[in-house]
Amino acid sequence: MNQYDVAVIGSGPGGYVAAIRCAQLGMKTAIIEKYNTLGGTCLNVGCIPSKALLDSSHHYEDAIKHFEEHGIDIPGEVKVNLEQMIARKQGVVDQTTKGIQFLMDKNKIDVFHGLGSFKDATHINIDSEGKTETIEAKHTIIATGSKPSTLPFIKIDKERIITSTDALQLKEVPKHMIVIGGGVIGLELGQVYKRLGSEVTVVEFMDRIIPGMDGGLSKELMRSLKKQKVKFNLSHKVKSVERVGDEVVVKADDKKGQEVVLKGDYCLVSVGRRPYTDGLNAEAAGVKLDDRGRVEVNEHLQTNVSNIYAIGDVVKGAMLAHKAEEEGTMVAELLAGQKPHINYNLIPGVVYTWPEVAAVGKTEEELKEAGVAYKVGQFPMRALGRARASMDIDGFVKILADKATDEVLGVHMIGARCADLITEAVTAMEFRASAEDMARMSHAHPTYAEAVKEAALVATEDRAIHI
Ligand SMILES: Cc1cc2nc3c(=O)[nH]c(=O)nc-3n(C[C@H](O)[C@H](O)[C@H](O)COP(=O)(O)OP(=O)(O)OC[C@H]3O[C@@H](n4cnc5c(N)ncnc54)[C@H](O)[C@@H]3O)c2cc1C
């Protein structure tokens, strides 16, 4: 029987990073993945393919809406070739997942393809094509991730009533896509199809989109998406989704309790994701799950069984690839006797719509609730030369700083390239910078990053230069 220092179950960003770090630290490592390709949700049906389609659809939108103003004339009609767009996306996915296989080989990690299930706390069965192989592991890291969740009364048929996984491989551009859920995934994929020509209606239970992020970001993103003609039904409780031939009928109650009926040809159900432990046989190892089906872990990401750890979407916390990666690294380093630490307050959150939305640290709502005295520095993107040059003028950067000490407590931004800009805020906050520290740093001109400097100037002593 093969024996390992560490077995990692699941090859998403949590699992494969954990495996690489374990191998780097000298541990004999195995990784088990039930699908044929490595990389998990993120690489196969999540972050990477959704960004590939966002990029392609953005090019199309630019071509039909903005090229003329830039002085670029295209003779003839610009058309979407969805088959090619999906094929390019798949090419990006294939290249990326093969890259993970390369990294496994490079780090001498044994890869097993098959369903991993606990036989007991130190033995894992791997089932593949009717055959079972058992390996022994001193330590196991559960990194089995998550799957799309739905509402109990919705039957996903994967054709017209679909999840994000199906939305990444549609064969036609929907005429009217009804998106249930105004969170990150629904808005990103909704925007892809809106740009390609679909009518898109978002139905959201809460009274705002991207709930959980700072309220100012929700408002500005909604304003911008409305300009792009995305429709919103907020404070609507969906009560049924039925397929009638090629039509999908969604019924919801608005906040006054009145029934609203929406008809479309596709319904994207994006109401969140659930932790995934099906087939893992966690009971055989004695591993406890919590009341939400997540693997229960302590602050060291250790389960109630001392040699078994869990990371990523299958444990509590934000369901984000980079959070899973940090946790994978942390567990590997703990196993090697090091003392790693994750600052969960500084895990940034990003929405890759255009304008992009990004945030780190506390929201205004959280600071108010905690009774923290804070000051706000906000600067509009439209005041930047760079934004006018590219015509990406929507959005702002908002910096929240402690009223007494000037320490930066939260940074919330919406605008062009904010997904990349947020790293400056994470860096500053890791070093516990004050708003004045950020304001005194030189920011290249002309860049969108100048909005960060200007917002910091406003937060420090209300002395922005360009407004
Ligand atoms: C459409 C979409 C877009 C997203 N975009 C972003 C984004 O832009 N940025 C971001 O940070 N996050 C994004 N996410 C979320 C991100 O994909 C997840 O947070 C991340 O993949 C979690 O990583 P993980 O390693 O915990 O699990 P996963 O990536 O879910 O990987 C788990 C792996 O374990 C395997 N597995 C499960 N059970 C077993 C078993 N018993 N035996 C063997 N293998 C098993 C699964 O097959 C899977 O490959 C997106 C998600 C979706 C759906």
CATH of the domain at 266: 3.50.50.60
> Are residues 392 and 309 part of one domain?
no
Decide if 55 is inside a domain.
yes
Decide if 368 is inside a domain.
yes
Structural domain span for residue 181: 161-271
How many domains does the chain contain in total? 3
Q: Tell which of 271, 298, 326 closes a domain.
A: 271
> Are residues 329 and 291 part of one domain?
yes
Decide if 154 is inside a domain.
no
Distance CA 417, CA 275 (A): 30
Phi, psi of 451 (to 5 degrees): -65, -30
Distance CA 190, CA 167 (A): 9
* Residue 1 confidence (pLDDT) above 90: no
Model pLDDT, residue 467: 86
* Ligand 1 and 182: CB distance under 6 A: no
Distance CA 143, CA 31 (A): 10
pLDDT in tens, 206-253: 999 999 999 999 999 999 999 999 999 999 999 999 999 999 999 999
> Are residues 337 and 401 part of one domain?
no
Q: How confident is the model at residue 360 (pLDDT cuts 50, 70, 90)?
A: very high
Distance CA 116, CA 78 (A): 48
Decide if 261 is inside a domain.
yes
Taking alpha carbons only, the member of 385, 413, 418 closest to residue 399 is: 413
* Ligand 1 and 113: CB distance under 6 A: no
Tokens of 119: 């036989």
| Residue 68 DSSP SS3 | helix
| For range 362-388, the mean pLDDT | 98
Q: Is pTM beyond 0.85 here?
A: yes
pLDDT in tens, 312-325: 999 999 999 999 99
Helices (H), 183-247: 184-196, 215-227
Model pLDDT, residue 99: 98
State the DSSP code for 260: E
Q: Which residues are catalytic?
A: 445
Name the residue of 37, 47, 126, 147 to mutate for ligand 1: max ligand atoms within 8 A of Cβ: 47
Decide if 129 is inside a domain.
yes
Model pLDDT, residue 163: 98
Q: What is the percent of the chain where pLDDT is above 70?
A: 100
* Ligand 1 and 14: CB distance under 6 A: yes
Residue nearest to atom 2 of ligand 1 (CA): 46
* Ligand 1 and 357: CB distance under 6 A: no
Decide if 414 is inside a domain.
yes
Q: Tell which of 271, 299, 318 closes a domain.
A: 271
Half-sphere exposure of 239 (CA within 13 A, CB side): 11
Residue nearest to atom 9 of ligand 1 (CA): 47
Burial of 322 (0-12, 13-18, 19+ CB in 10 A): middle
> Are residues 278 and 134 part of one domain?
yes
pLDDT in tens, 283-303: 999 999 999 999 999 999 999
> Are residues 288 and 355 part of one domain?
no
| For range 195-206, the mean pLDDT | 98
Q: Which residues are bridge partners to 136 per DSSP?
A: 3, 123
Phi, psi of 80 (to 5 degrees): -85, 130
> Are residues 327 and 198 part of one domain?
no
Q: How far is the CA of 146 from the centre of ligand 1 (A)?
A: 6
368 to 148, 372, 375, 376, 402: CA distances (angstroms): 33, 6, 11, 12, 12
* Residue 332 confidence (pLDDT) above 90: yes
Q: Tell which of 271, 305, 334 closes a domain.
A: 271
Taking alpha carbons only, the member of 127, 45, 131 closest to residue 92 is: 45
Q: Which residues are bridge partners to 421 per DSSP?
A: none
